[in-house]
A and B are shown apart, each in its own frame.
Chain A
Amino acid sequence: MSEHDVLFDAPGPRTIRRFRIINIIALLLIVGIIAWVVVGLRNQGQITTSKWEPFLTGEAWTSYYIPGVLATFRAAGVSIVLALVFGIVFGLGRLSQLRLVRAVCSVVVEFFRAVPVLLMMLFSVRFYSYYDLVDPPQLPLYSVVTALTLYNGAVIAELVRSGVHSLAKGQREAGLAIGLTYGQTLRSVLLPQALVAMAPSIVSQMVVIVKDSALGYIIGYSELLRQGNQFGVAQQTVFPSYIVSAAIFIVINAILAFAAHSLARRLRSRTGAAIAAGTPQVGGVGVGGQTT
C-alpha cells in the first residue's frame, strides 16, 4: 500500500492540473457507465416504485429476508464450529510423530481441499437420503453443513499446521525441557498459541463459509439467496430481489472482514508471530488455500 505513493512522483503544479483533468474525465466516464446502466434498467421497467416498494413492507423482511439470514447464519455457525474441531484434529494429526497418522491426515486434508464444495454437497444430499439417515426436511441443512465442514475443516487444518510451524522454536524446546512429551507440548504449549495467532484467519474463513452457504440454494436449502429469490418471484420483482440479497451478503461479509482485520491488528501488537491474516480468500466453491 505504501507502494502507491512511490509509483509516481510528488506531482508538481502542471501534473496536479493534469491529474485533476484526468480525474474529472475518469469520473465522468464512470458516472456515464452507471447512468447508462440505470437508463437501461429504467427502459426495462426495473426502476419503478412498484418494483422496489415490496421491500419496504414488513412481510418482505419477517417472512423472507430475516429467516433467510438466520438460515445462512445457522448453516455457517454450525459449520465453523465443526470445521474447527475437524481442523484441529487433522491439523494435529499432520504434526503427529507417527508416520501413518501423518500420512492418513495429509491425504484426507489434501483430498477435501481439492474437491469442490458443491460436489460434496450433492453427494451428501443423495447419501443422506438414499440411506435414510436424516429427516427429509432437515436434509438440505445437514448436507450444507457436511460439505462446508469438510472443506473448511481441511483449510483450518492447514492453518493449524502453519500456525504451529510459525511459532518460535524455543516454545517447543521449552515444553520438552520441562519434561512434557511431544504430544503434551503440542497440545498444551503450541496449539493454544497457534490458535490465538490464527484467530484472524479463522474469522476471514467465516467470510468464505458465509459465501459458500449460498451454494445451499442449488440443493434447496432456504438460505438468504433462495428466500430472496422466492420473494422476488412472488412479488414479481426478481431483479431487485437479487440486488437486495447481494447487499445483505456484502454487509455481513464486510463486517466479518473488518473484524478479521482489526483482530489481526490487535494481535500483531501482542504477539510477534501473528500468522499473515486478513487477506480474504477466494471463496465460492472453495479456496486454493494458502498453498497447494
Chain B
Amino acid sequence: MEAIRELLDDYDVLAAFLVTIRLTVFSAIFSLIIGTVIASMRVSPIPSLRTTGSLYVNLVRNTPLTLIIIFCSVGLWGQLGVELADRDSGTFLVDNAFRLAVLGLSVYHSAFVAEALRSGINTVPVGQAEAARAIGLSFVPALRLIILPQAFRGAVAPLANVLIALTKNTTVASAIGVAEAAALMKTMIENRADVLFAVFAIFALGFVILVLPTGILLTALSRRLAVQR
C-alpha cells in the first residue's frame, strides 16, 4: 500500500489513463462509422460493394493489430510522409503519433464492428425486411429506417465486446510512442523493479476499472434495448 501511494505520487498515472480513454473514445467513434459503412456494403445488392466489404473484413481481421499500428507509424509516416498533424504546432510529434494510433485502431476494429453489425442484422426477422419491401421501400430506405435501427439494438452485446477489446488494445499504441498507460507502466517498471508487483497492480486495476463497468453497463443495456420478439 505504501509503495502504491509513493508510485502514484511520483508518476502521473491518471494522465496516462486519460490518454488511454481518449484513444478509446476517438477510435470507437471512427470504427463505428467505418464499420457501419462496411456492414452496409456487405448486405447491399451491388456485387462489387459486397466483395469489397468482405475482402476488407477478412484482410483486416486476420492481420495483427501490432502490425497495423506499426505500419501506420513507420510505413505511412516514416516511409510515405503521411502526416496527420500540423508540423509547426509545438505538439507535432505527440499529436501525429496519437492520430496515427487512432487511425490504426479504427481500421482494425471497424472490421469487428462490421461483423458485430452483421450479426445484429441477422437478429432482425425476415418478416421485417419483407414488410419494408411490401410497403414499397427500396434497399436504402429499408436498411436505414427498418433494418439498421433494429440491428443496432440487437448488436449492442457484440459491439460492447468490441469496445472492451478496443479499450485493452489501445495499449498497442505504446509501440509507436503514444504516452498511454502501457507506455507509462514500461517506464515505471524499468525504474522501480523493486516494487514490480505494485506497479502491475496499479495498471491492471486501472484496466479492470475501465473494462468491468463498461461490460456490466452494456450487458444491461443490451438486455433493455434488445427488441422483444
Contacts and interface: CB of A to CB of B under 8 A. Distances in A.
Nearest to B130: A6
Contact of B43 (A4, A257, A290): A4
A292 B164 contact: yes
A137 interface: no
Interface stretch (B2-10, B84-92, B204-212): B204-212
A26 B47 CA distance: 9
A46 B80 contact: yes
Interface string A281-292: 111111111111
A2 B147 CA distance: 14
Contacts of A282: 109, 112, 161-162, 165-166, 169
Contacts of B103: none
A291 B67 contact: no
B164 A119 contact: no
A54 B128 CA distance: 56
A115 B75 contact: no
A111 B65 CA distance: 22
A242 interface: yes
A214 B59 CA distance: 16
Interface string A113-130: 011111100110011001
Contact of A218 (B66, B126, B163, B200): B66
A206 B27 CA distance: 26
Given A30-B48, A286-B169, A7 B142 contact: yes
Contacts of A207: 62
Interface residues of A, number: 67
Contacts of A9: 133
Contact of B58 (A122, A215, A254, A279): A254
Contacts of B80: 40-41, 44, 46, 239
Contacts of B81: 44
A30 B56 CA distance: 12
Interface string A185-222: 00000000000000000000001001111110110000
A253 B62 contact: yes
Contacts of B142: 7-8
B186 A122 contact: yes
A3 interface: yes
A288 B161 contact: yes
Given A119-B200, A215-B172, A30 B207 contact: no
Interface stretch (A60-68, A162-170, A243-251, A267-275): A243-251
A116 B183 CA distance: 13
Contacts of A4: 43
A146 to B, nearest CB: 13
Interface in A1-18: 1-4, 6-9, 11
Contact of A111 (B126, B166, B181, B204): B204
A120 to B, nearest CB: 8
A139 interface: no
Contact of B64 (A23, A212, A257, A289): A212
A101 interface: no
A257 B62 contact: yes
B45 A238 contact: no
Nearest to B143: A7
A44 B75 CA distance: 12
Contact of A284 (B75, B133, B143, B169): B169
Contacts of A36: none
Interface in B188-210: 189-190, 193, 196, 200, 203-204, 207-208
Interface in B4-25: none
B101 interface: no
B74 A238 contact: yes
B171 A285 contact: yes
25 contacts: A3-B121, A3-B126, A7-B43, A8-B133, A11-B45, A23-B48, A27-B48, A111-B204, A114-B208, A114-B211, A126-B190, A211-B64, A215-B172, A218-B66, A218-B172, A242-B71, A242-B75, A249-B64, A284-B66, A284-B165, A284-B169, A288-B162, A288-B165, A292-B211, A292-B215
Interface of B: 43, 45-49, 52, 58-59, 61-67, 70-71, 74-75, 78-81, 108-109, 112, 115, 119, 121-122, 124, 126, 129-130, 133, 138-139, 142-143, 147, 157, 160-166, 168-169, 171-172, 174-175, 181-182, 185-186, 189-190, 193, 196, 200, 203-204, 207-208, 211-212, 214-215, 219
Interface of A: 1-4, 6-9, 11, 19, 22-23, 26-27, 30, 40-41, 44, 46, 110-111, 114-119, 122-123, 126-127, 130, 207, 210-215, 217-218, 225, 229, 238-239, 242, 245-246, 249-250, 253-254, 257, 279-292
Task: Rank and list the top 3 A-B pairs by shortest CB-CB distance, nearest first.
Answer: A288-B161, A292-B215, A214-B64
